[in-house]
Structure 1
Amino acid sequence: MSEPISSSAKSSHPLPAPIQAGLPLTALAPMQDVTDRPFMAVIADCGAPDYFVTEYFRVHSQSRLEKHILEAVVENNTGRPVFAQMIGEDIDHLVRAAKDLQNHPIAGVDLNMGCPSPTVYKKQCGGGLLRDPQKIDRVLGALRETCPGLFTVKMRIGFEDTQNFETILDLVNKHQVDLLSLHGRTVKEMYRSEVHYDCIKQAVERVDCPLLANGDVTSAAKARWVLDYTGAAGVMIGRHAIRNPWIFRQIREEQNGQPVSKITLQEVNQYIKKLYHAVAKPDAPELRQVAKMKKYLNFVGQGVDPEGKFLYEMRRAKTKADLFGICDRHMPEGPEHLFAAEPYPGVIARPNRES
Structure 2
Amino acid sequence: MGKLDFSLPIYVLAPLAGFTDLPFRSVVKKFGADLTVSEMISSNALVHNSSKTYKMLQKAPNEEPYAVQIAGNDKDIVKEAVLILNDIEGIDIIDLNCGCPVPKVVRSGGGSALLKDLKKMGEIIETIKKYSEKEYTSVKVRIGFDEKIPEKIAKVCESAGADFITVHGRTRSGGFKAPVDYDAIKRAKESVSIPVIANGDITSYEKAEWVLEYTKTDGVMIGRGAIGKPWIFYQLKHKTSDISPEIKKEIIVEHFDKMIEFYGDYGAVMFRKHLHTYSKGYQGASAFRDKINRITDPKEMRKLIIEFF
- CA distance in 1 between counterparts of 2:83 and 2:265 reads 34
Report matched runs for 1:89-168 at 5 Å.
Answer: 89-103=73-87, 104-148=89-133, 149-162=135-148, 164-168=149-153
1:161 is aligned with what amino acid?
E
SS of match in other structure, 2:39: strand
State the 1:113 CA deviation: 0.8
State the 1:216 CA deviation: 1.7
RMSD of the alignment, in Å?
Answer: 2.8
| 2:303 equivalent to 1:318 | no
SS of match in other structure, 1:228: helix
1:81 is aligned with what amino acid?
P
| Deviates further, 168-177 or 267-276 | 267-276
State the 1:269 CA deviation: 4.2
State the 1:201 CA deviation: 0.4
Q: If the length of structure 1 is used for normalisation, what is the TM-score? A: 0.75
SS of match in other structure, 1:100: helix
1:60 corresponds to which residue? 44
1:10 corresponds to which residue? none
Alignment deviations for residues 170-192 of structure 1 (CA, whole Å, 9 cap, x no partner): 21121121010111112232221
1:83 corresponds to which residue? 67
- CA distance in 2 between counterparts of 1:17 and 1:152 reads 12
State the 1:40 CA deviation: 1.7
1:262–1:270 Cα change, 3 Å? closer
- CA distance in 2 between counterparts of 1:159 and 1:316 reads 45
Does the 8 A contact of 1:35 with 1:55 survive in 2?
A: yes
- CA distance in 2 between counterparts of 1:269 and 1:248 reads 15
1:296–1:115 Cα change, 3 Å? farther
SS of match in other structure, 1:85: strand
1:224 is aligned with what amino acid?
E
- CA distance in 2 between counterparts of 1:169 and 1:241 reads 26
1:107 is aligned with what amino acid?
D
Does the 8 A contact of 2:144 with 2:153 survive in 1?
A: no
- CA distance in 1 between counterparts of 2:286 and 2:192 reads 42
Partner of residue 274 from structure 1, selected from 254, 266, 277: 254
2:128 is aligned with what amino acid?
L
1:92 is aligned with what amino acid?
D
1:3 corresponds to which residue? none
Structure 1: gaps spanning 5 or more residues:
1-13, 332-355
Paired residue total: 299
1:316–1:132 Cα change, 3 Å? farther
1:203–1:330 Cα change, 3 Å? same
- CA distance in 2 between counterparts of 1:232 and 1:28 reads 16
Report matched runs for 1:14-25 at 5 Å.
Answer: 14-18=1-5, 22-25=7-10
SS of match in other structure, 1:205: helix
Q: If the length of structure 2 is used for normalisation, what is the TM-score? A: 0.85
Residue identity over aligned pairs, in percent, reads 29
State the 1:325 CA deviation: 8.5
State the 1:161 CA deviation: 2.9
Report matched runs for 1:284-299 at 5 Å.
Answer: 284=266, 289-290=268-269, 292-297=270-275, 299=277
Does the 8 A contact of 2:40 with 2:97 survive in 1?
A: yes
Alignment deviations for residues 294-316 of structure 1 (CA, whole Å, 9 cap, x no partner): 443454355x35xx973696378
1:150 is aligned with what amino acid?
Y
- CA distance in 1 between counterparts of 2:111 and 2:279 reads 29
Alignment deviations for residues 190-213 of structure 1 (CA, whole Å, 9 cap, x no partner): 221221111110100012210111
State the 1:17 CA deviation: 3.7
- CA distance in 1 between counterparts of 2:73 and 2:214 reads 34
- CA distance in 1 between counterparts of 2:236 and 2:251 reads 19
SS of match in other structure, 2:19: coil
- CA distance in 2 between counterparts of 1:135 and 1:22 reads 32
Does the 8 A contact of 1:23 with 1:252 survive in 2?
A: no
- CA distance in 1 between counterparts of 2:97 and 2:29 reads 23
Partner of residue 229 from structure 2, selected from 227, 244, 264: 244
Partner of residue 278 from structure 2, selected from 300, 303, 307: 300
Task: Name the structure where helix makes up a greater proportion of residues.
Answer: 2
Does the 8 A contact of 1:172 with 1:207 survive in 2?
A: no
